[in-house]
Amino acid sequence: MEATVGDKLLVHGRVVGIHDRVAEIIEVLGDNGEPPYRVRYEDDGHECLFSPGPDSVVRHLAAGPGQR
């Protein structure tokens, strides 16, 4: 899994009644975009270190005009 600062991390709920959560990646601590990541959850602003598992998906930032 590779990510950059500003990407979104979608964490799927694994138990009935637990909703998916979205976090913004605010720091990449691994080499070459690898985990762990420091994230900030959008729903409550909580920040933590996170090593994504198979229930997580990175949503990369869309490149703006003139960006790759």
| pLDDT score, position 38 | 98
Radius of gyration over every alpha carbon of the chain, rounded to an integer in angstroms: 12
Between 49 and 66, residue with greater pLDDT:
49
| pLDDT score, position 10 | 95
- Residue 43 belongs to what domain range? 5-53
The answer as to whether 63 is a domain residue is no
Identify the H or E element spanning 49: strand 47-50
The answer as to whether 61 is a domain residue is no
- Per-residue pLDDT tens over the stretch 1-57: 899 999 999 999 888 888 999 999 999 999 999 999 999 999 999 999 999 989 999
The answer as to whether 58 is a domain residue is no
- How many domains is the chain built from? 1
Does the reported pTM lie above 0.85?
Answer: no
As beta bridge partners, residue 49 has 38
Could you give the 3-state DSSP secondary structure of residue 31?
Answer: helix
